[in-house]
């Protein structure tokens, strides 16, 4: 008995399909491009910054952006109250934000993946214990934790990253656990058991690869959230030390000049908005693209 190959007439080539998939979601495409641009800016900050972000020049303090009266193209986005170049500071601020986002999510997702897989796969007491700890963690207001840690250990980038990593882990634990429970009941895990597969094989060959997609999507959203909150903490003076150019710090510094020199607060604010936006769009886009089953839906 022989059956024909699948009738593929008229089906788009993988490349065209991929292009369709990308172009279909215009907002997603915008998010992807914006995100890549932001990452490039962070990496090449020293090369593209017109000035040293820490270079003070009080004579040039609070110079408006180039297109306003009194502005020069020497300082395209103007200067802050200490005469530092706004553009360069925003460019360097990207580094702080992305570092916090990337590393924070890395810690949170790694913790979440390990604990979530344990809880979901082992079940029983292990599950109860992990979920109990997780819920306990969720109940602690993170702002309080930040204030306490910052006052004990001092303000540092590492502290912020660690706090974000740990406070966000419960979310990843829950999502991983839920996915593991779902995948464990799936037909392909059942069939692997019926084939005599070992526990390790089921966990690492069947469950783990199917976790990546959903987790990556959540990670993107979480990263956006962390960048947002880092800026918030910076604004409250609880994040990185004030000598490091971060968007939150800049926002905080610009607050008192908002009436006469609004650009000092406005441009870091815009940077936060666009970064956050790009990641949310990216997350939506990833959800679609990573799903191997997305088919016959446009």
Select the residue interacting with another protein from 73, 152, 187, 200 (CB under 8 A): 187
Under rule CB under 8 A, residue 192 binds another protein: yes
| C-alpha closest to that of 135 among 160, 161, 115 | 115
Contact pattern from residue 129 through residue 168 relative to another protein, giving x for each residue in contact according to CB under 8 A and a dash for the rest = ----------------------------------------
CB within 8 A of 93, min separation 6: which ones? Answer: 245, 246, 247, 250, 268, 271
- CA distance from start to end of the chain: 36
Which of 48, 212 has the CB closer to another protein?
212
Which of 154, 187 has the CB closer to another protein?
187
Select the residue interacting with another protein from 27, 58, 190, 258 (CB under 8 A): 190
Q: Which stretch binds another protein (CB under 8 A): 1-9, 80-88, 145-153, 241-249?
A: 1-9
Select the residue interacting with another protein from 136, 188, 204, 256 (CB under 8 A): 188
Q: How far is CA 192 from CA 113, 186, 187, 196, 206, in A?
A: 22, 10, 9, 7, 8
Contact pattern from residue 103 through residue 132 relative to another protein, giving x for each residue in contact according to CB under 8 A and a dash for the rest = -------------------------x----
DSSP-derived secondary structure for 112-124: HHHHHHHHHHH-H
Minimum distance of another protein from residue 15's CB (angstroms): 12
Which of 242, 288 has the CB closer to another protein?
288
| C-alpha closest to that of 211 among 190, 181, 188 | 181
Q: Which stretch binds another protein (CB under 8 A): 40-48, 76-84, 135-143, 181-189?
A: 181-189
Which of 82, 127 has the CB closer to another protein?
127
Contact 250, 87 (CB under 8 A): no
Q: Which stretch binds another protein (CB under 8 A): 11-19, 148-156, 227-235, 263-271?
A: 11-19
Contact 163, 120 (CB under 8 A): no
Select the residue interacting with another protein from 145, 197, 216, 236 (CB under 8 A): 197
Q: Report how far Cα 181 is from the mean position of its chain's Cα atoms.
A: 26
Under rule CB under 8 A, residue 21 binds another protein: yes
Q: 3-state DSSP call for residue 85? A: strand
| C-alpha closest to that of 132 among 163, 183, 173, 164 | 173
Under rule CB under 8 A, residue 200 binds another protein: no
């Amino acid at each position: 008995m022989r059956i024909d190959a699948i009738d593929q007439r008229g089906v788009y080539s993988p490349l065209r399909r991929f292009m369709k998939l990308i172009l279909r979601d215009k907002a997603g495409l915008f998010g992807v491009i914006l995100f890549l641009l932001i990452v490039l800016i962070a990496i090449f900050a020293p090369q593209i910054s017109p000035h040293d972000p820490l270079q003070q020049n009080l004579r040039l303090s609070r110079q408006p952006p180039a297109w306003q009266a009194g502005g020069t193209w020497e300082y395209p986005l103007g200067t802050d109250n200490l005469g530092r170049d706004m553009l360069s500071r925003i460019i360097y601020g990207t580094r702080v934000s992305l570092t916090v986002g990337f590393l924070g999510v890395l810690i949170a997702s790694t913790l979440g993946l390990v604990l979530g897989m344990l809880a979901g796969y082992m079940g029983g007491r292990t599950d109860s214990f992990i979920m109990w700890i997780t819920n306990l963690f969720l109940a602690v207001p993170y702002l309080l934790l930040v204030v306490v840690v910052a006052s004990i250990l001092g303000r540092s980038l590492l502290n912020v990253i660690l706090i974000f990593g740990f406070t966000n882990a419960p979310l990843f634990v829950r999502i991983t656990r839920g996915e593991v429970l779902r995948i464990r009941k799936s037909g392909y895990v059942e069939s692997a058991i019926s084939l005599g597969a070992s526990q390790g094989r089921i966990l690492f060959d069947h469950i783990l690869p199917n976790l990546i997609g959903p987790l990556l999507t959540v990670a993107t959203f979480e990263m956006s959230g962390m960048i947002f909150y880092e800026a918030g903490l910076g604004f409250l003076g609880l994040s990185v030390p004030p000598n490091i150019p971060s968007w939150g710090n800049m926002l905080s510094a610009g607050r008192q000049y908002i009436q006469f020199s609004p650009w000092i607060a406005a441009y870091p604010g815009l940077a936060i908005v666009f970064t956050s936006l790009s990641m949310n769009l990216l997350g939506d886009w990833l959800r679609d693209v990573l799903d191997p089953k997305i088919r016959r839906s446009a």
